[in-house]
Amino acid sequence: MRSPKIPKPWPASSSLLREYLLTFRDNPSTERELSATICKGFEISLRRAGNSYPQFFVPGGSTDDDTGGWVLEETQKNLRLCIEEKTRKIAPYRHKYPEWWLVLVDRIGYGVEACDEQLFREHLKFEHSWDKIVLLSPDNPRWAFELPAAAASQAV
């Protein structure tokens, strides 16, 4: 009788993942999307982007034919939550200072690539009462993305 297959511990699985990623990177094929199960409970899907990026792998950046995909959707959803929460938290102190900026570290997209900036500018407009909202990359302290203000935001 065979014993049940026990999932490999993460160190062994991480080397399998690394091998899979390197194989995908080093062997461009005609297949645009590939999926693999690395270990029990961990499946990865890779899709070749239509755009070039400074780094080869972009998390979720091209999951819907290069229109922002998961990164834009998650950034949008989380920005709404953060803006609402931070606005509530500063409400009692709002009168003390003439200007308020909200600066957030972007741990979803890790910075917007130049080719995606226009898309983000179009879809990340929120009505708010902040003077500025800025996203910072945790990987590049020189990168900042100022969210465009929605037309009604100045009146809030």
Rg of the Cα trace of the chain? 20
Rounded average pLDDT over 68-82: 79
Locate the domains of the chain by residue range: 10-47, 69-155
Q: What are phi and psi of 134, to 5 degrees?
A: -130, 135
Select the more confidently predicted residue: 36 or 4.
Answer: 36
pLDDT (tens digit, 9 = 90+) per residue, 7-63? Answer: 555 666 778 888 888 888 888 776 667 777 777 777 777 877 776 777 777 766 434
Say if pTM beats, i.e. exceeds, 0.85. no
pLDDT (tens digit, 9 = 90+) per residue, 119-156? Answer: 777 777 778 899 999 989 888 878 888 888 765 444 33
Please state whether beta strands 101-105 and 132-136 pair in parallel, antiparallel, or not at all (unpaired).
Answer: parallel
